[in-house]
Structure 1
Amino acid sequence: MRISPLRRAGIGVLAIGAVATLAACSTTQQEPAAGEPASPAAEAGPRVAVAYEGGILVLDGETLETVGDVDTEEFTRLNPAGDGRHVMVTMSEGFQVLDTAAGTADEPALTDLVFEADTPGHVVRHDGKTILYADGTSDTTVFDTADLAGADALPEVETVAGVEAHHGVSVVLEDGTFLTTVGNADGRTGITVHDADGTEIATSAECPGVHGEGTAKDEAVVFGCEDGALIYADGEITKVAAPDQPYGRMGNAYVSETSPIVVGDYKDDPDAEGYLLHAVTLIDTAAKTLEVVDLPEGVAYTFRDVVRGPDDLAYILSADGAIHVLDPETGEITDSYPVIDPWEGPAEWQDPHPAIVVAGDIAYVTEPASDSIHAVDLTTGEVLASAELGVTPNEIAPAAG
């Protein structure tokens, strides 16, 4: 169903079994030296990591003052590790651990801890575990998130060996059920599911271009396809088709683990230029339905611009400069908060462009055009703090402390 806005105003390795089927980035002003605080003393509290070309700034999550600046490779991706303090940085050797020192008065540091991976890709956090996926091998690395705390060495990991390399992702559920994408150099086709003993319990090849995942209420897991999505729940895989065929792509899932509804991005023209999108999917994992909601005129976003926040609502940072609040239950835009100047979509997905992340009720919004960042209270729309960074922000990750 398509709905218009008029209708809806790690280092010990313990192998837990090999998958037996086809497994499957600025200009700097004067900044502090790497790893040194910008102010006389950092305060305990939340932190925000902001990647720029060749480095990462660590900011105080309340004042947005820079408390650390570390050197990195030219382009890095940032993912929260899941413990409220550490961030996984994708580097050429693998996933390197950034200690933001959130919740402490310590100085941030890019540690020497690296989870080795050939072409590090997706990072998933669920049920106290952190799951790392290596695109170059399709291997999956799993560890207890809490084991990063105070670690001077890599925590013990479990590794599921992949079969054929592809850009994929894996999920581990509470009972040990292991879900992973299927693909190879020629393309990606679906998912396979194994129980805690490694026995295959479900599989589907009905997901061309499978990409992105999200775990919703009651551990229902959604994977995006170029013609809809797959839902895994209660031991079964259900395909939900997009209203546009043969191409109606959902590739990124924005979830709350207390809501059965997954908000996904949506693209219905494979030849469309640029990265701005104008519709979202609403996937009800309980009812096993997929709806497409066309956004109001002027509202457009990229994969970096949707989050779930207070009351399980979705918050879309639009090219018009506002955060638009979307109710997943109705598909309606219920409020809008002007935050930054209007902006244009990137020429390449890696190019700096506005992004939004959330920690509790607070959203952090980057504005590359002004080399700045803003903290916004999502319950009121009030901009609580803003800061000029002296560098052009790209990726961003919160650490709540």
Structure 2
Amino acid sequence: MKRHQRTVAAAAALMGVALLATACASTGSEAAPEGTTAGSVDAQNGRVAVSYEGGIAVLDPDTLAVIDEFETEAFTRLNTFGDGRTIAVTTSAGFQVLDTGEPALTDLVFDATAPGHVVPHDGKTALYDDGTGTTTVLDTAAFADGYTTLPQGATYTAEAPHHGVSIVLSDGTLLTTVGDETSRSGAAALHAHDDHWHEEAVSDQCPGIHGEGTAAAEAVIFGCEDGALLYTDGKFVKFTAPDAYGRMGNAFVTDTSPIVVGDYKSDPDAEGYLLNAVTLIDTAAESYEVVDLPDEVQYTFRDVARGPGDLAYILATDGSIHVLDPESGELTAAYPVVAPWDGPAEWQDAHPAITVSGDIAYVTEPATNSVHAIDLMTGKTVASVELDHTPNELAVASS
């Protein structure tokens, strides 16, 4: 592969970053337990949830056999809660709790007028309600004793509702986006203090901020319409894209690599949802680059995952999983998995998706109503199932 690289040096720490001179109280949390691989998963943990029109199926992670199915709304989204068992299902009423261990689609619902992102990290899970701008912070282990009651958590409400996201770091810092109903501009770092939140740092240098990812050393990245925004060591750092419009909307990370792999779009007027380049952000070196991919390697926001060796795995429209080495920016292997496919007309439309647990990649193939399990160490398909419905989203109840 010929590598086309556009590198941009990191900007200095942003002007306007506000640091508190006084200390604020923070709440620490124990690290979440490490997840197991799909091949050694406990019967009550690590199961796979697959959404389809009007329902959700729970699959065995080894055989992909359907354990149970549940009726739900026509379109739902699936969000890993982070405890190895729970999935937060996005519905019109809020975040409904799916217990993949029983399994059961419970009556427990975290109310939200427009439920958005769910982000588990280091023992805390943050639920974001776009309709009110409210972040609810819960213990990731909140359901350890069962699903009898809805757990309560701390809340923070933004100055204005917007399509946002929040994450809680190990020292209790709440990172949350800033915006309103018409636009989004950046992010803030907050600490809980008595009955209010203290602002530790803020940046307004991330137009259209969307998505987040936490790399090694708790370096947090957000996507912007003109690059990316990094939070590290108590400050924000802006990366500027090489194109006037250079949107990153999703970050793909591991907690052992400083390098973030992001999607990338340089044409705001491009039709459809297929992308043909990625961003590589080294959060330790504070460097940013855009790597153009071969013509056949086109993908959507559902088609990138990180896996063994901190590598990135791209499920492309040619039907193969392409292995990307984030250190070099090179594609090192390709594993044929599904038939070639076309990009969706709308982002909600069913199209191939990938998620990874341990050494196993789970891939949907809507054209055949199938889900496949691929061993990423060998590229071999180790299990497949044909469902009675067309799979849309999928999530693994990982920890």
Structure 1 unaligned spans of 5+: 9-15, 18-41
Q: Which secondary structure state, in structure 2, belongs to the residue aligned with residue 385 of structure 1?
A: strand
Aligned to 1:159: 155
> What does the per-residue CA deviation read over 1:295-316, in whole Å, with 9 as the maximum and x for residues that have no partner?
1220010000000101111000
State the partner residue of 2:201. Answer: 202
Residue in 2 that maps onto 1:263:
261
Q: TM-score, normalised by structure 2?
A: 0.88
Identity of aligned residues (%): 64
Amino acid at match of 1:124: V
Letter in 2 for 1:228: G
Amino acid at match of 1:117: A
**Which residue of structure 2 aligns with residue 237 of structure 1?**
236
Q: 1:191 aligns with which of 160, 167, 187?
A: 187
Secondary structure at the residue paired with 1:118? coil
For 1:181-231, what per-residue CA distance to the aligned partner results, in whole angstroms no more than 9, with x for missing partners?
111112111111113432111111111101010111111110100000000
Quote the residue 1:27 is aligned against.
none
- Answer whether contact 1:46 1:62 (CA < 8 A) is retained: no
Residue 95 of structure 1 aligns with an amino acid whose one-letter code is F
State the shift of 1:161 in Å: 1.8
Deviation larger for 150-159 or 109-118: 150-159
Identify the residue that residue 29 of structure 1 maps to in structure 2: none
Q: Distance in 2 between matches of 1:61 and 1:72?
A: 22
Aligned to 2:141, what secondary structure does the other structure show? helix
The root-mean-square deviation of aligned C-alpha atoms, in Å, is 1.8
| Structure 1 position 93, deviation (Å) | 1.1
Secondary structure class of the residue paired with 1:311: helix
1:171-182 map, 5 Å: 171-182=167-178
Q: Unaligned regions of 5+ residues in structure 2, if any?
A: 7-23, 26-41
* C-alpha deviation, 1:162, in angstroms: 2.2
Aligned length: 362
Q: 1:321 to 1:200 in 2, by over 3 A?
A: same
**Aligned 8 A contact 1:321 1:341 in 2:** yes
> Could you tell me how far apart the structure 2 residues matched to 1:364 and 1:185 are?
35
Q: Which residue type is aligned with residue 186 of structure 1? A: T
CA 1:158–1:7 in structure 2 vs 1: closer, same or farther (change >3 Å)? closer
Q: Deviations over 1:345-379 (max 9, x none)?
A: 00000000000011111110000011001000111
Partner of 2:280: 282
- Report the Cα distance in structure 1 between the residues aligned to 2:45 and 2:63, rounded to whole angstroms: 10
Contact kept in structure 1, 2:167 and 2:176, CA below 8 Å: yes
Q: TM-score, normalised by structure 1?
A: 0.87
Distance 1:399 1:175 in 2: 25
Q: Which residue number in structure 1 is paired with residue 34 of structure 2?
A: none
| Alignment correspondent of 1:75 | 75
Q: CA deviation at 1:54?
A: 0.4
1:31 match? none
Q: Aligned partners of 1:114, 1:162: CA distance in 2, in Å?
A: 22
SS of 2:217's equivalent in the other structure is helix
Task: Please report how far the alpha carbon of residue 44 of structure 1 lies from its aligned counterpart in structure 2 after TM superposition.
Answer: 5.5
- Provide the residue aligned with 1:66 in structure 2: 66
Q: Which amino acid aligns with 1:219?
A: E
Report the CA distance shift for 1:88/1:7 in structure 2 as closer, same or farther (over 3 A).
closer
Quick check: 1:225 aligned with 2:220?
Answer: no
Question: In 2, are the aligned partners of 1:4 and 1:293 still within 8 Å (CA)?
Answer: no
1:13 corresponds in structure 2 to none
Please name the residue that 1:216 is paired with: 215
Aligned pairs for 1:1-400 within 5 A: 5=3, 46-101=46-101, 106=102, 108-149=103-144, 150-197=146-193, 198-245=197-244, 247-400=245-398
Is 1:142–1:157's contact at 8 Å kept on the other side of the alignment?
A: yes
Cα deviation for residue 292 of structure 1 reads 0.3
Distance 1:175 1:133, change over 3 A: same
After TM superposition, give the deviation of residue 151 of structure 1 in Å: 3.0
Structure 1 residues 6 and 120: alpha-carbon distance in aligned structure 2, compared to 1, 3 A threshold: closer
In 1: Cα distance, 2:242 partner to 2:398 partner: 39
1:147 to partner: Cα distance: 1.4
Q: Report the secondary structure of 1:369's partner residue.
A: helix
How big is the shift at 1:46?
3.7
**In structure 2, distance between residues paired with 1:4 and 1:249:** 23
Displacement after TM superposition at 1:394 (Å): 0.3
In 2, the alpha carbon distance for the partners of 1:215 and 1:127 equals 11
Conserved in 2, the CA contact under 8 Å of 1:47 and 1:61? yes
Structure 1 residue 43: Cα displacement: 5.8
Name whichever of 320-329 and 157-166 sits farther off.
157-166
Tell me, what secondary structure is at the counterpart of 2:346? Answer: coil
Q: SS of the counterpart of 1:195?
A: strand
Contact 2:45/2:100 (CA < 8 Å) preserved in 1? no
Q: Which amino acid aligns with 1:224?
A: G
**What is the CA–CA distance in structure 2 between the aligned matches of 1:331 and 1:143, rounded to whole Å?**
37
